[in-house]
Structure 1
Amino acid sequence: MTERVFVDKQHPRAYQALLDVAKAARAAAREAGLDRGLVELVNLRVSQLNRCAYCLALHTEALHKLGETRLAVLPAWDETDLFSPVESAALRLAESLTTLPDTAAQDAAYAQAAEVLTPDQLSAVEWVVVTINAFNRVSIGSRHPVTGLSA
């Protein structure tokens, strides 16, 4: 296997810009009334879909620190009643924006989310999804190693 360039290290200004966008997205979510736990659930679900091991480890640890106990069922969140309507709307929208299904399916996911989320919340969730997808690609492309996991 060819050794990968860590693009975050190779072009730190570009990576810093991405960090700044993510910080702004988290602030937008907070200002829209979405808590950090919901943001981290979205980050984890998107990272599951993208199979980003580095981000999976990072956001799983963050959710453990927040006391989240539903991680085992997150891949099947829509088969349970364990997630609130707001969480479900955010997760459905996140999946739709990550997998980019056909237009009709994406429109349906957006319409369902719009029934529960305010315009500010919809926008904030979309920005969170955009940034975690970008971070997933940075880590996947760079093959960032997963180390130092806590039990």
Structure 2
Amino acid sequence: MADAIVRPTYKDFTARAPDVYAGLSALTKAVDASGLDKGLTELVKLRASQINGCAFCLKFHLGLARKAGVAQEKLDLLPAFREAEIFSAREKAALAYAEAMTKLAPGAASDAAWAGLRAEFSEDEVVFLTVTVAGINAWNRIAMGFNFAA
């Protein structure tokens, strides 16, 4: 019988790489301090985590989104945000950007995508949205690589 494959748990990761954990946490703190709406950033994190299939991050950020006051209907309709009238133009622009930057298909950072985002967000807000997407994608890859339990 083969030995079981053992990967680091979330607790192991934070203990073995405290500076990495602190760095990733600092990204979140910087975004929170920017004044960007917490509900919006949690929706962005959830959408990227859905695309990446990260159950650990979905569970974690669903809790934070609820705590931030995101309506359950938005959480339910998030995969179909483009068609759901409950999402504002601002939310749709942020979610479309999160999808483009998570999938990184050719043309993801097109001028048209940028113009759509800039129509709803200031230059500073775009910087922090980009950091939000980059941060959650890093967490998704860590959580999935180590197979953190959801």
Q: Which interval holds the TM-score relative to the shorter structure? A: 0.7 to 0.9
The superposition leaves residues 79-130 of structure 1 with CA deviations (integer Å, 9 ceiling, x where unpaired) of: 1221111111111111111100212x43132221111111111111101111
Q: Which residue of 2 aligns with 1:16?
A: 22
Unpaired segments ≥5 residues, structure 1 = 147-151
Unpaired segments ≥5 residues, structure 2 = none
AA paired with 1:5?
P
| Gap change, CA 1:117 and 1:67, over 3 Å in 2 | closer
Q: Which residue of 1 aligns with 2:120?
A: 116
Q: Distance in 2 between matches of 1:102 and 1:111?
A: 17
AA paired with 2:21?
Y
Q: Which moved more, 1:49-58 or 1:17-26?
A: 17-26
- Aligned partners of 1:26 and 1:128 also within 8 Å: no
Match runs of 1:66-105 below 5 Å? 66-69=69-72, 70-103=74-107, 105=108
How far apart are residue 59 of structure 1 and its match? 0.9
| Structure with greater Cα Rg | 2
Match runs of 1:2-81 below 5 Å? 2-6=5-9, 7-28=13-34, 30=35, 34-65=36-67, 66-69=69-72, 70-81=74-85
Q: Distance in 2 between matches of 1:100 and 1:115?
A: 21
Q: Distance in 1 between matches of 2:70 and 2:81?
A: 17
How far apart are residue 52 of structure 1 and its match? 0.7
How far apart are residue 78 of structure 1 and its match? 0.6
- Normalized per residue, the structure richer in helix is 1
AA paired with 1:56?
L
Which SS does the other structure have where 1:3 is aligned? coil
- Aligned partners of 2:27 and 2:132 also within 8 Å: no
TM-score by length of 1: 0.86
**Identical aligned pairs, as a percentage?**
37
How far apart are residue 67 of structure 1 and its match? 4.5
AA paired with 2:86?
L
- Aligned partners of 1:113 and 1:122 also within 8 Å: yes
AA paired with 1:23?
K
AA paired with 1:94?
A
How far apart are residue 5 of structure 1 and its match? 2.4
